[in-house]
Structures are given as C-alpha cells and as structure tokens.
Amino acid sequence: MLVKPFWASTFDIITEFCYIRKIMEYTLNQINEIINGQVIGDGNIKITGVASVEVAAHGDITFIKGEKFIEKGVNSKASAIVVHRVIDELKVPLIVDKDPFMAFVRFLEVLANERMESEPGIHSSAVLADTVKVGNGVSIWPNVVIRDDVKLGNNVTIFPNVFIGEDCVIGDNTTIHANVSIMGKTSIGQKVTIHPGSVIGGDGFGYLQKGGKHVKIPQVGGVQIGDDVEIGANVTIDRAALDKTIIGNGVKIDNHSHVAHNAVIGENTMLIAYAKIAGGARIGKNVMIAEDVGINDHATIGDNCIVGGGSNVYKSLAPGSVVWGSPARPLNDEKKIQSIITRLPDMRTKIKELEKWKVKSEK
C-alpha cells in the first residue's frame, strides 16, 4: 500500500496508483479463457484495448450482436471480434460465442476489477476508531474516517474521503467509492458497490404538524443493504424512523435516486435515474422502475411490475402490472389517453364548428 504524508493531495496519490496499475495486454487465447468460446484464427495476437465496433482501432477487441451488425464488423478496424457464428467476411481473428454481448461483458468484468484493484493497507491519513475491526485484504485510501464499532469484511475497498459512522457492518468484497457518507447503524452485504457522492443512512424526512410548526420526529432506525447491490452516484437512502430501510439482494439503483425512510425494496429490483420512493413504500421483487418515477408513501408495488418513465404511482399495484403516466394507469389505457390528448386541438375546433352550426340551424 502506498504511504504518503497526511498533507499529500488525494490527486497525487490517485495518480501514483494509476501509474502502478497494470496496462491492459492479453492474447486472444487468454481472453477466450475468460469468455469460454471458440477461437477462429490467430489466438496469439496481442489485444491492448476494448471498444465499440464503430470506433475500435488496431489492438482493440470488439463484438457484434447479430446478423444485422455484420457490415459494421466488416468495416471495423478492430484486431479481433467476438461474434455469434463464424463469419467469412470478417478477416480478423474471432471468438465465437452464441451470446457475444454477454461473452464480451464477462471480459469487461475482469477489466473493471483490474482497474479498481488496489493494494491492501490503511493510508496514514485515514482515521479509524480503536474499536474498528478490519478484515483481511482491506484497502483504505486517504482521508477516510471510520467511527466506533465498525466491522469491515475481507477485501473491502474504501476510496478517499469516505465517512462511516458508528456500528456499521460492511461485507466482504464491497467497494465504496470516493466521497460517500455511510451513517451509523447501517448494514451492507457482500459484493456491494456504492458510487461517489452517495449518502446512506441520513435522517428520514419525518415531521409532525403541531401548532403551526414542524416538529421533527427523531430518526433512530437504520439501513440494511443486501448482497450484490449496486448504488449509483449521488443516491440517498434514508435511515428508518424506528426499524430499518431495507434494500434486498441484487437491487440496482441508478444515479440521483432517493429511497425514503422505512421503504422496503425487494430482491433484483431496478431503479433508474431520479427514481423517488416515498416513506414506507413497499416495492416487490424483480420490479423495474424507470427514470423520474415517483412512488407515493405507503404504496405497495407487487412483484414483477414495470413502471414507465416519468410516472407517478399514487396507489398500490398488483403483481405483474405494467403502468405509465401521472397518475399511473395500465399501459394500454395511458397510450389511448395520450393519443386522445394529441387530437384535442382538432376536436376543439370541430366542436366550435358544430356549435356555430347549431346556432345557425336554430335561427
């Protein structure tokens, strides 16, 4: 682990880590060991980069999804391509896999993990309470502050300027990016990623109205986050008033989303950017909540629902519902309403003409 004096800038330290990080270089055969497809052509060629098929250059590997992308592959300057079948028109070495996109993702996962690797150790500028328990292979970067009775699992990575409050538990192989704040009594599972600027366990927005004033309800609960969760940048997940705000296993939350106090989000649900989940809402499993959706307080969203972008859900949804609009309605109903709305100016003109005709006919 790099050791710098406490006055060294975070930029200097990050730069030095970047120079240490291994430059990408694989043979095609080594890539195929990860992808587990079939190499066609020279498996010993050197691959030094990844890129989309349109912008790939010499040294890059790319992929094409299917038949309609073959022409793009022919015109690509990539040194190798992951494809769904042997394609004679492509004059570069290939890796054949029935699902080339997923195969390429498997390789990208390896690259992403390499990019984020850092040597275990605790930077000299980090401040850890005496009661913090640190697992094996933990990497703690500059200016991290960790308070009393925190437990860090094995292979946890905590990037610069992170704050972790008292009585938190961070599971194995979790990565916490720069400038994240995790307030006290937060439990985070294994293989969780929290991106920069997010705040986990801030106070819920709870007030009583008394005598024309807002009386704050103390928020003394916690947050529980399951395994394999990814939380985007600038996400806020509030602590519960009394019990726990719960994020289930496999949940993915996009940037700038907000989960209010006492909300529960079921396993493998996805929240896309600017999703807003109000206090006490219950979201089921495998739910897809699109961008800029609002879920009303204490609403229940059943398993396998889909909520279209920009919708506002004011009441509970049965499992499997597909809704859109504000207020959210069944998708087909909302499509009809939107179609009618676009025709309202013409309908208004026709109504006025009919009214004029009626007046004339009555005379």
For 57, other C-beta atoms within 10 Å of its C-beta total 13
Amino acid at 85: R
- Assign 331 to helix, strand or coil: helix
Measured at the CA of 297, the angle between CA 300 and CA 163, to 5 degrees, comes to 105
What are the tokens at 250? 């496999």
Contact 314, 299 (CB under 8 A): yes
Cα–Cα distance for residue pair 142/115, rounded to 1 Å: 18
Cα–Cα distance for residue pair 37/45, rounded to 1 Å: 16
- Please give the pLDDT value at position 23: 60
Task: Give the H or E element holding residue 80.
Answer: strand 80-83
- Positions of the chain with pLDDT lower than 70, given as ranges: 1-23, 363
- Cα Rg, the chain, nearest whole Å: 27
The domains of the chain, with CATH numbers, are 26-115 (3.40.1390.10), 128-334 (2.160.10.10)
How distant, in Å, are the alpha carbons of 29, 67, 128, 276 from that of 166?
A: 48, 55, 11, 27
Contact 280, 264 (CB under 8 A): no
Candidate list 58, 123, 261, 298, residue with the active-site label: 261
DSSP-derived pairing of the beta strands 157-158 and 139-140? parallel
Whether 261 is catalytic is yes
Q: How distant is the alpha carbon of residue 111 from its chain centre? A: 18
Contact 231, 198 (CB under 8 A): yes
Place of tokens 């986050």: 225
Contact 276, 282 (CB under 8 A): no
Contact 261, 219 (CB under 8 A): yes
Single pTM value for the model: 0.84
pLDDT in tens, 195-218: 999 999 999 999 999 999 999 999
